[in-house]
Structure 1
Amino acid sequence: MSDGKTKAQKLARLRHIATSDDRFFIDYTSEIEEYLDDKDPEVRALAVECLWEYPDPAYIDVLMDLAEHDPDEQVREYAISGLGVYIYEGEYADYDFDWGEHTEIMREDELPQSDFERVRDYLLAVVRDAARPINARRRAIEAISFLHEPVVIDIIEEAYHHPDKKMKISAVFAMGRNASAKWEKYILEALDSPVPEIEYEAVCAAGSLALDHATRPLMRIATESEDKNLRIAAIRALGEIGHEMAFPLLDDLQFDPDRDIRKAAEEALDEWMMSAHLRELDDTDLLDLDDDLDDFDWNGDGWLN
């Protein structure tokens, strides 16, 4: 299918696959597989990135092989990053839960625990291998950061204090994925970083973790930064946090002279509304919801009350 296409056409096709909404409904894997063997490393790297939406265990060995043996460094890094989706799938699989007689049905679409453990062990080995290029180790830290295990917390914290600023950038990115409350002080500190990449990742992480205490610095960044991409990231983060203090600013930014800022503010306001609504749910509401769920039972085909 890819024969006869120029590099530009191949990249355009892969970008379409990576960003179009229909990727959630259409299986593009056979097409992606063709591009994984392309002679151009940029095409191979983008094909690897597209696999994120298709966490089939069959691709674990493919990604590991690329991570170890592809001649291009960027492709190797992308392959390591791509393994992160299996950490995400495994972290939320709840392997310890006993489904009883419904185990086979409930585990049907779940990543096998053995595959999850294999990916986890591989990524940990990459992180710990000092002989590896620092970028490979960074990508492994980012990939494994979905995992809420003490060893991963330690790895992220160590990376934050690493003398190489690139490692610190990855650490802050990983904090946003890991979502531990432990990271709040680090993220707030990183919001004042003189390193633009660290500041950007801190802005994104503050939104991901919905850090109330980040609201004021994010408002400052959203209005005062000369970096438009950073302003947009801060606006989005304010929407994710949903603090009442941010509403007037987001409302005003809908009328900003810059079209991209206006669009970001409109989207952030929609997000703010949802976040603010969740804030209205107190512990009593959540307990009531839990009680309601207890009234339902699984019969093998669906939930019955």
Structure 2
Amino acid sequence: MEEQPKEITLDEVRQALLDDAVQLEQPQLYRLSGLEAPDIETLSAFWDQISSDRRQSLLDELETLADSNTTMDFDSVARVALADENPITRTTALRILWECEDPKLIPDLVNMLENDDDQNVRAQAASTMGHFLHLGELSKIPPDSMSQAEDALLAVMESEDHPEVRRQALESLGYSGREAVRGHIEEAYEYGDEEWQASALAAMGRSADREWEPEVLEKLDHVNELVREEAARAAGELELEMAAAALFQMLEHEEEEVRMAAAWSLSQIGGNDVQEALENQLEFSESDAETSLVEDAIENLVFTEELEDLSMLEFSEDQLEPPLDEPED
């Protein structure tokens, strides 16, 4: 009978973490996934005993692992790290928590947004809160939790905080249906600063409001690459067919980020020649990151077109149904 591999204990992970000379192996990193209450308390108790550099390198490894393996759940480790003395570690922890769906995290995010002394941490807290606004629009968190997040983000937008913090708040507020948000987006779009214009476009894309179509189309050929990139993303999020021609041209742009944004947006919009264009881009992709994204875009395009076919089928079947008989007098 084949011997089963020995289960890694949290104490073994602790001993490895406390020794900077020991390189953590993948099974030890896996052990930190999905921690439950007793293990979380244990981790919290020895967290500060780990060297600052080791704590940061651990979170970097967990973030990379979570990106490549969606079954991994390091939210508990990240929540412990939110109180870390190193602002870089706190920022990394907030990124790891981007997909967390527990509304109990919102008060911690609000507290960091309002009170953390590091602007990068505050900006990342604002960004992470955007995910909860999205969940709120989908009715996946309680309305009062969503309101708490919206109130905090709107307060930051109307404050004198660092522009990067306020821009991240605006992008997150794109998911909100609050009336005040539209005014903030319009003001940012009309402002001469290109970083503000890019954030306004990001918010437009998240709004699911096609009334922003003229503004998005106008910026697709903007001279600034960041503005053009966000316009491309917004066009895809809003599924703007009129943007397709410009997006096809962007596939030949010299900057990889612009090409990748255009590829993904075309997969969201669909239409004639998109698959051929994406397959051609895949052949000439210049990095592993671009190859991976274009492959995902091709898969997403198939999904998008299948949904369109299903919608058309349902529409045709509805047309074939005989009208209901009018009631007799």
**Shared fold by TM > 0.5?**
yes
Which position in structure 1 is the counterpart of 2:144?
A: 114
Q: Give the Cα–Cα distance (whole angstroms) in 1 for the partners of residues 285 and 112 of structure 2.
A: 46
Q: Give the Cα–Cα distance (whole angstroms) in 1 for the partners of residues 261 and 299 of structure 2.
A: 15
Q: Give the Cα–Cα distance (whole angstroms) in 1 for the partners of residues 158 and 245 of structure 2.
A: 37
Deviation at 1:173, TM superposition (A): 0.9
- The alignment status of 1:86 with 2:115, answered yes or no, reads no
Alignment of 1:174-189 (within 5 A): 174-189=203-218
Identify which range, 271-280 or 84-93, moves more after superposition: 271-280
Alignment of 1:183-202 (within 5 A): 183-202=212-231
Alignment of 1:35-184 (within 5 A): 35-93=81-139, 110-129=140-159, 131-184=160-213
Deviation at 1:267, TM superposition (A): 3.1
**Residues 17 and 50, structure 1, Cα contact 8 Å, conserved in 2:** no
Q: Give the Cα–Cα distance (whole angstroms) in 2 for the partners of residues 218 and 78 of structure 1.
A: 29
Q: For structure 2, which runs of at least 5 residues remain unmatched after alignment?
A: 1-42, 319-329
Q: For structure 1, which runs of at least 5 residues remain unmatched after alignment?
A: 94-109, 290-305
Deviation at 1:239, TM superposition (A): 1.6
Which position in structure 1 is the counterpart of 2:78?
A: 32
Shift in alpha-carbon separation, 1:26–1:126, aligned structure 2, 3 A:
same
Q: Give the Cα–Cα distance (whole angstroms) in 1 for the partners of residues 304 and 76 of structure 2.
A: 39
Deviation at 1:122, TM superposition (A): 1.7
State the secondary structure of the residue aligned to 2:177.
Answer: coil
Deviation at 1:287, TM superposition (A): 8.7
- The alignment status of 1:232 with 2:278, answered yes or no, reads no
Shift in alpha-carbon separation, 1:234–1:42, aligned structure 2, 3 A:
same
Q: Which string of whole-angstrom CA distances, capped at 9 and with x for unpartnered residues, describes residues 117-168 of structure 1?
A: 1221221121122x22222221111111112343322321221112222211
Q: TM-score, normalised by structure 1?
A: 0.79
**Residues 14 and 46, structure 1, Cα contact 8 Å, conserved in 2:** no
Shift in alpha-carbon separation, 1:143–1:259, aligned structure 2, 3 A:
closer
Shift in alpha-carbon separation, 1:26–1:222, aligned structure 2, 3 A:
closer
Shift in alpha-carbon separation, 1:113–1:204, aligned structure 2, 3 A:
same
Which position in structure 1 is the counterpart of 2:276?
A: 248
**Root-mean-square deviation (CA), in Å?**
2.4
Q: Give the Cα–Cα distance (whole angstroms) in 2 for the partners of residues 85 and 265 of structure 1.
A: 24
**Residues 120 and 165, structure 2, Cα contact 8 Å, conserved in 1:** no
State the secondary structure of the residue aligned to 2:84.
Answer: coil
Aligned sequence identity (%): 30
Higher RCO (CA < 8 A, seq sep 6+): 1
**Residues 189 and 196, structure 2, Cα contact 8 Å, conserved in 1:** yes
State the secondary structure of the residue aligned to 2:283.
Answer: coil
Deviation at 1:255, TM superposition (A): 2.6
Q: Give the Cα–Cα distance (whole angstroms) in 2 for the partners of residues 257 and 116 of structure 1.
A: 40
**Residues 251 and 281, structure 2, Cα contact 8 Å, conserved in 1:** no
Which position in structure 1 is the counterpart of 2:19?
A: none
Number of positions where the alignment pairs a residue of Structure 1 with one of Structure 2: 269
**Residues 168 and 198, structure 1, Cα contact 8 Å, conserved in 2:** yes
**Residues 57 and 111, structure 1, Cα contact 8 Å, conserved in 2:** yes
Q: Give the Cα–Cα distance (whole angstroms) in 1 for the partners of residues 317 and 162 of structure 2.
A: 51
User: Which amino acid in the other structure matches residue 244 of structure 1?
Assistant: N
User: Which amino acid in the other structure matches residue 112 of structure 2?
Assistant: L
Q: Which string of whole-angstrom CA distances, capped at 9 and with x for unpartnered residues, describes residues 49-93 of structure 1?
A: 222222322222211111122121100111122222221122121
Q: Give the Cα–Cα distance (whole angstroms) in 2 for the partners of residues 262 and 146 of structure 1.
A: 29
Deviation at 1:47, TM superposition (A): 0.4
Shift in alpha-carbon separation, 1:258–1:51, aligned structure 2, 3 A:
closer
State the secondary structure of the residue aligned to 1:210.
Answer: coil
**Residues 169 and 197, structure 1, Cα contact 8 Å, conserved in 2:** yes
Identify which range, 134-143 or 2-11, moves more after superposition: 2-11
